[in-house]
């Protein structure tokens, strides 16, 4: 492996990482190891894994990685080329929406695996929210959500708040020194999802923009989080190709929540109700059905909810995590 590959990765790290002092310290440590011949004979995958581990030793940043690029990216070396690949990938992934369903008892269910860029996935988000707009409660499953784009998060969230007066999140950009605020939107196609409970399912896989999704609604008291603590990556990231087959992903910004003043980096998002991730859906569904039965839903919906609740396995005691 050419030493130039390592040096190019370190140059990007030092120029773009949101924490410059950590970047310089990590680069110095890696250069010492490179001079000692510790990377000799490693192929690209081995080198990426080794550098990623060593970057984490100093920076403790789960977004900071050196890794082999997917085959579809080998010819994508400019930003425009990488955006074109992303556009095709997110379209084929149905803009991250794996499943939209009305569960018995008139409970809405969304399984979101990615958060799309709003200008690309907006129509799909609107369509999904239209399909659950008349349900009695909503379950949003982020247990397999590995991230996405902040403006997509703000579009999803806008459906959960009544107007444009909810400050959702802010992102500080290291290169420009500017902070961008993300607010709920004044106008949305279709109906907003208001005055009904929302349950968000999380796990140790939930990451990045998926974590922002749940952190924001938890901080604002708009949803109940159920499952396990998330992975803990709060730094928006860009991908920089080092060769056609190797890239470094570098956090260039950091989230600053307007309610907490902080973010979930390194700690993850802690659920309100802690249960094993595989039990989170059943736990949320039970609570949603109990909400229906305690309310004024139509008789047919109440009957359906009672039958669904009777069909669930007996509930195990759930651990409520103190705020």
Domains along the sequence of the chain with CATH: 3-69 (no CATH), 93-233+268-314 (3.90.226.10)
* CB of 101 closer than 8 Å to CB of 73: no
Q: Quick one: CA dihedral 129, 156, 162, 106, positive or negative?
A: positive
- pLDDT number for residue 321: 66
Report whether pLDDT(175) > 80.
Answer: yes
The residue-averaged pLDDT of 69-84 equals 87
Average pLDDT over residues 227-249: 95
DSSP-assigned beta bridge partners for residue 246: 68, 243
CA triple 20-23-28, angle to 5 deg: 130
- Average the pLDDT over 253-264 and give the result: 97
Using DSSP bridges, classify how beta strands 167-173 and 179-183 pair: parallel, antiparallel or unpaired.
antiparallel
Place of tokens 């990045």: 208
Q: pLDDT for 28-62, tens place per residue?
A: 999 999 999 999 999 999 999 999 999 999 999 99
Residue 2 pLDDT exceeds 70: no
Q: How far is CA 30 from CA 9, 25, 39, 48, 183, in A?
A: 11, 9, 10, 12, 40
Please state the rounded mean pLDDT for residues 74-85. Answer: 87
Averaged pLDDT for residues 7-22: 96
Crossing angle between the packed helical segments 209-219 and 150-158, to the nearest 10 degrees: 40
Measure the CA–CA gap between 258 and 106, rounded to whole angstroms: 34
pLDDT tens by residue, 87-111: 999 999 999 999 999 999 999 999 9
β partners of residue 183: 167
Q: Whole-prediction pTM value?
A: 0.93
Residue range 114-138: mean pLDDT, rounded:
97
Helices of type H across the chain: 3-16, 20-35, 44-59, 79-92, 118-131, 150-158, 209-219, 280-294, 299-310
| Closest residue by Cα to residue 202 from 93, 129, 281, 114 | 281
Those residues with Cβ within 8 angstroms of residue 51's Cβ, 6 or more apart along the chain or in another chain: 6, 9, 30, 66
Residue 239 CA to residue 227 CA, distance in Å, equals 30
Angle, CA of 124, 239 and 27, to the nearest 5°: 150
Q: How many other β-carbons are positioned within 10 Å of the β-carbon of residue 43?
A: 9
Tokens 């190709």 belong to 241
DSSP H or E segment with residue 98: strand 97-103
pLDDT in tens, 276-309: 999 999 999 999 999 999 999 999 999 999 999 9
What's the token pair of residue 180?
């961008």
């Amino acid at each position: 492996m050419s030493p130039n590959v390592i040096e190019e990765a370190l140059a990007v790290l030092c120029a773009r990482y949101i924490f410059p002092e950590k970047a310089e310290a990590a680069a110095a440590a890696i250069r010492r190891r490179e001079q000692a011949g510790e990377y000799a004979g490693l192929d690209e995958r081995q080198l990426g894994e080794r550098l990623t581990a060593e970057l984490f030793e100093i920076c403790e940043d789960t977004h900071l990685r050196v890794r082999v690029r997917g085959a579809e990216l080998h010819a994508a070396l400019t930003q425009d080329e990488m955006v074109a690949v992303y556009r095709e990938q997110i379209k084929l992934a149905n803009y991250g929406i794996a499943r939209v369903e009305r569960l018995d008892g008139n409970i809405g269910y969304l399984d979101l695996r990615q958060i799309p860029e709003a200008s690309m996935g907006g129509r799909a988000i609107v369509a999904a929210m239209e399909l659950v707009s008349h349900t009695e409660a909503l379950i949003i499953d982020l247990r397999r959500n590995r991230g996405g784009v902040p403006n997509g998060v703000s579009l999803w969230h806008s459906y959960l708040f009544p107007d444009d007066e909810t400050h959702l999140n802010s992102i500080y950009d290291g290169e420009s020194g500017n902070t961008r605020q993300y607010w709920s939107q004044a106008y949305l196609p279709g109906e907003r999802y208001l005055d009904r409970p929302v349950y968000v399912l999380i796990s140790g896989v939930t990451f990045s923009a998926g974590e922002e999704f749940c952190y924001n609604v938890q901080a604002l008291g708009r949803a109940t989080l159920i499952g396990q603590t998330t992975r803990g990556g709060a730094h928006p990231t860009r991908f920089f190709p080092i060769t056609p087959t190797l890239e470094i992903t570098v956090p260039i910004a950091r989230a600053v929540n307007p309610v907490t003043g902080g973010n979930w980096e390194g700690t993850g998002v802690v659920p309100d109700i802690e249960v094993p991730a595989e039990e989170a859906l059943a736990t949320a569904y039970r609570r949603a059905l109990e909400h229906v039965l305690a309310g004024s839903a139509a008789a047919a919906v109440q009957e359906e909810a009672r039958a669904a609740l009777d069909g669930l396995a007996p509930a195990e005691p759930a651990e409520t995590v103190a705020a």
